[in-house]
Amino acid sequence: MKKCKFDDYRSFTHCSEAYYTKPIGLSPGVVDEIFFGLSCGGGGTHGEMKMEFRELGRKIVPQLQVFDDGWEVLASFTDLLTEMAKVSCPCSVNSITPKQFCEMLVRCGFKDITLRENPNPVPEESKIPPLEGYKQALHTIATLWPIETSAKIGNVAGINDGRSRAIIAENAVVIARRALGIERMP
């Protein structure tokens, strides 16, 4: 595994407890999710995976998802895999809960990096922007919004195919242009 010049550390984020998950929610069918992996002290990760908790047959069950760039990192988490194997039992009525999985991660030396509070809260009086603020935002969307941003938003919203994300991007730009009077409705 590649070692970086910064201190690597194990970390996790409990999504349902993060301040930014509340407005957008989780993907459909997902009750909770926890991202974990090997973080680089300089930013980013060397590999990350996700434990999703989904409803399956009236039970909430965990499902591990790992992209190929995280396989080597997962293999290095032998202590975590051993702990996971201890709670895995086909005859068990209850599956591990998200809270119990987070506790397991902490026992295995993972640092909880969940942002529970917004580090840059919006002052109460500035929550409703004036009309000019809306116009500026629409102008930005209409002229500068890159397709990659739409792809990221689409991915967070659970829209995972490129064609759907491109349609979202095109529609957002058209709506913004129409709202500004740059483009007329057909």
CB count, 10 Å around CB of 123?
A: 6
- pLDDT grade for 56, boundaries at 50, 70 and 90: confident
pTM: 0.62
Look at residues 161, 160, 183 and name the one whose alpha carbon lies nearest to residue 172: 183
Task: Lay out the sheet containing 8-14: strands in order across.
Answer: 59-66, 45-56, 30-40, 8-14, 111-112
- pLDDT digit string (tens) for 13-50? 999 898 887 766 777 888 999 999 998 887 888 889 99
- pLDDT grade for 89, boundaries at 50, 70 and 90: low
Quick one: pLDDT at residue 95?
84
Quick one: pLDDT at residue 51?
95
- pLDDT digit string (tens) for 141-173? 555 555 555 555 555 555 555 555 556 666 666
Structure tokens at 103: 């506790």
